[in-house]
Structure 1
């Protein structure tokens, strides 16, 4: 699986963030009193996405994250993780927060190294429900695990906040989480105002990424149920993918699958925006440069590539970066 791909999904092909909007300062003492390092803090119990109650000795301090969204939550909340899956990949695809030097790479996101985790003296491991069979159970043999959902098309933004709040409860950083929500709401309001002033309110927008496998080009539309789709809706924009007949989206991340010919179903007035990364070829400007179908599309010449390393499946910090990029693209 390529380093930037979302967790393995049976319905999708594996593939595929600017100054940080999050914070890496140490949390205030009253927000995080520690747990596994001899703290006298009272035990706390949280209920994770499985409905399972996990009791910790106190707010977790020594933590690891197996998926990049939970890593971003942690650092945004002022908790530097001891272990992170695929550190190089995280630093390539998510620029919203910065990891401390010396963080331990614990292996792949879907199947972290049990041996490495066992050496880190962790209070808890934060994971999503997108891991290989048996991995969670193996980790739990030595360390508590708190599971958050990878996403939910029914309420992508609500799921992001639920995830953040769960991580904040387990780390004693609820006040910081509340501040992040206030800052995000302000960013949304400012974004809506800027788009209205630019005359872009209600505009048709198609956001995507793409990759090449052999000779074939695959394009991933971000539907209404994606985290990106949720933010676009809050900004008052219209998701052009919703009008494409027959296009289906997975139930976790709200991602679809199409090809170049599929783009011909988009409205002529669509603003086509996409994410790429210099670590891979740019499909739209390099691979499709001489493609007659792509070049015939009315929006091809005005397509906008968003800044690299905005993690499309991240947390409030990444989504604030995305809001800034939307305003820039529409201005």
Structure 2
């Protein structure tokens, strides 16, 4: 089995791609969701992408045009359909490198990193955004996306003035369990970059397995940013949940309910998250 490239190798590749002359986009097929949202944010509509119905439920911005053809599961896309579409370029992330040989039999493949275990993801996403923009002929748009993220984080730092205060980005699994986003995740990375102390341990670029709600009480002074979707019943169910209402953060009004966001999103999702945190939400 081939060894997985490390962060330094991935970033070197992204920097090399970003330094090359820009090329026209051509017909694109995009497998990874972070790179799919980035492609759309760059103003390019791919010919095809994967798991579009689920994508539309989670990622509301940028809007997915109806012309994009659904290739099926990200981990097992329909290769016959993909081949029939005759793409000029297939865009994947490091998550799908294990299928690269199959894709290369159909078209040129561009593989870019999005998340690496134990590594802050924002520098990786910035590099990959610039590299993708350069490859598909949208370098100026890519620069604007990265600049917009940096501006949103700066606005968050100014508006909230976290100054090292603890914070947690979480997702509620059900009435009794919660998932926590660590420092190598998208939401944890934005909070840390804005000046919060992420009160969650490392989580392998995703989030923890569900833990009991009572775990949140261990960081009683933390602000809680709840990433949607909420469990059935939404905010009303939380209002009637005795375990939730007993949390010190709830009693102090330091809980902010946010809409659904892609846990493995790209620069556009990171920017939206930062803006949502600045805007705040109803405390519960």
TM interval, short-chain normalised: 0.7 to 0.9
Q: Are 2:88 and 1:151 equivalent residues in the alignment?
A: no
Residue 272 of structure 1 aligns to a residue whose secondary structure is strand
Mapping 1:105-116, distance limit 5 Å: 105-116=70-81
Q: Give the 5 Å matches for 1:1-331.
A: 58-131=23-96, 133=98, 135-152=99-116, 153-196=118-161, 200-212=162-174, 218-242=177-201, 249-250=203-204, 253-260=205-212, 263-264=215-216, 266-277=218-229, 281=232, 286=237, 289-290=240-241, 292=243, 294-301=244-251, 302=253, 303-308=255-260, 310-329=261-280
The secondary structure found in structure 2 opposite 1:99 is: coil
TM-score (norm 1): 0.71
Q: Distance in 2 between matches of 1:227 and 1:266?
A: 23
Partner SS, residue 158 of structure 2:
helix
The CA distance in 1 between the partners of 2:52 and 2:39, in whole Å, is 14
The answer on whether the counterparts of 2:182 and 2:203 sit within 8 Å (CA) in structure 1 is yes
Give the aligned length: 265
Where is the helix percentage greater, Structure 1 or Structure 2? 2
Bigger shift: residues 297-306 or 106-115: 297-306
CA contact (8 A) 1:111 1:132 kept: no
Is the alpha carbon distance of 1:296 and 1:58 closer, same or farther for their aligned partners in structure 2, counting shifts above 3 Å? closer
Q: Does structure 2 conserve the Cα–Cα contact (< 8 Å) formed by 1:77 and 1:168?
A: yes
TM-score for the superposition, normalised by structure 2? 0.82
1:85 is displaced (CA, Å) by 0.4
1:61–1:226 CA distance, 2 compared to 1 (3 A): same
Work out the CA distance in 1 between the residues paired with 2:32 and 2:237: 30
RMSD: 3.0
Counterparts of 2:229 and 2:208 in 1: how far apart (Å)?
20
Q: Which moved more, 1:72-81 or 1:280-289?
A: 280-289
Residues 132 and 74 (structure 1 numbering): CA distance in 2 closer, same or farther, change over 3 Å? closer
- Quick one: distance in 1 between partners of 2:21 and 2:103? 15
